[in-house]
C-alpha cells in the first residue's frame, strides 16, 4: 500500500510550516536538477520588504489591467474578491499596468490577512512599507512607490492563471493553488501537483547539506566530502 503523504492528509498549514524551514537555494536545486523545471524562478527584482520575510503558501491569484476610470462601484466589487480567500494563501497580483504605481499597500494587506492570506507577491509596486513591516506581513514586490493605483490600475478577476515576471524567461505562469516559496534570495512557483514532492526532496537534500557542512567545517578533505554527499 502506498504510504506517500498527500495534501489531503497533511494540512496545508503544516506544509507551509515545513517549507518555511527551507531556503531558496535548495528549493531551486530540486526544481532544476531533480524535476527539470529551472524556469520556475521569478525575476530577481522581487524583493522582500524586510530580509527575514518568507513566502510559503498556495497562490490566490489576482489579474489586473490598465484603466483610466475612477469607478467606485467597481472598486467595491473588486474589494469583495478577498472574501474568497482561504487560509493559508499567498495573494499573487500580476503587473497589469505599464504605470509605476503601488498596486498593494497596508490596508490591502490588513484586509487580505483577515480573510486568510499569509503573504503577498506583487508584480509591481507597493507602498506603506513601514506599516507592512511593523505588521510582520510578508510582502515581496518589484519596487516601492507612493503613487496611488486607483484610476490607473484595476483588478479584473481572481483565481485565474496569471503571468508574473520571470528570471530565465519573460514570464512564469501562476495557477491558483500553485505553491509560492520565497526568501531573500528569490521566489519560485511550484506547480500545485508537485508541492509535496518538492518539499520532501528539499528536506532530504537539506539534511545531506547539514552533514556536509559539518564535515567541511571540521576541515575534512572537500573532495571526499563532496563524493559522499554530492553537495558543495
Query: What tens digit of pLDDT does each residue of 73-112 get?
Result: 666 666 788 899 999 999 999 998 888 999 999 999 999 9
Every domain of the chain and the residues it spans: 12-193
Rounded Cα–Cα distance for residues 40 and 54 (Å): 17
Could you tell me the three cell numbers for 179? 505553491
Query: Which pTM does this prediction carry?
Result: 0.89
Q: Are 162 and 61 in contact (CB under 8 A)?
A: yes
CATH classification of 12-193 is 2.60.40.10, yes or no? no
Rounded Cα–Cα distance for residues 154 and 69 (Å): 9
Q: Is the pLDDT of residue 72 over 90?
A: no
Query: What tens digit of pLDDT does each residue of 111-167 get?
Result: 999 999 999 999 999 999 999 999 999 999 999 999 998 888 888 999 999 999 999
Amino acid at each position: 500500500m502506498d504510504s506517500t503523504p498527500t495534501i489531503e492528509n497533511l494540512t496545508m498549514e503544516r506544509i507551509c510550516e515545513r517549507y518555511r524551514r527551507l531556503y531558496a537555494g535548495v528549493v531551486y536545486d530540486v526544481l532544476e536538477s531533480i524535476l527539470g523545471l529551472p524556469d520556475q524562478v521569478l525575476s530577481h527584482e522581487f524583493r522582500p520588504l524586510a530580509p527575514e520575510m518568507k513566502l510559503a503558501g498556495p497562490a490566490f491569484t489576482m489579474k489586473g489591467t490598465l484603466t483610466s476610470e475612477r469607478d467606485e462601484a467597481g472598486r467595491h466589487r473588486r474589494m469583495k474578491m478577498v472574501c474568497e480567500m482561504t487560509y493559508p494563501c499567498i495573494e499573487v497580483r500580476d503587473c497589469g499596468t505599464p504605470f509605476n504605481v503601488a498596486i498593494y499597500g497596508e490596508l490591502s494587506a490588513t484586509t487580505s490577512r483577515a480573510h486568510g492570506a499569509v503573504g503577498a507577491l506583487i508584480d509591481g509596486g507597493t507602498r506603506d512599507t513601514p506599516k507592512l513591516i511593523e505588521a510582520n506581513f510578508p510582502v515581496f514586490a518589484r519596487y516601492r512607490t507612493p503613487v496611488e493605483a486607483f484610476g490607473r490600475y484595476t483588478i479584473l478577476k481572481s483565481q485565474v492563471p496569471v503571468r508574473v515576471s520571470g528570471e530565465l524567461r519573460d514570464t512564469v505562469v501562476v495557477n491558483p493553488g500553485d505553491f509560492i516559496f520565497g526568501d531573500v534570495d528569490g521566489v519560485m512557483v511550484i506547480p500545485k501537483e508537485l508541492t509535496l514532492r518538492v518539499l520532501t526532496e528539499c528536506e532530504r537534500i537539506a539534511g545531506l547539506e547539514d552533514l556536509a557542512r559539518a564535515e567541511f567545517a571540521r576541515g575534512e578533505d572537500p573532495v571526499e566530502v563532496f563524493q559522499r554527499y554530492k553537495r558543495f
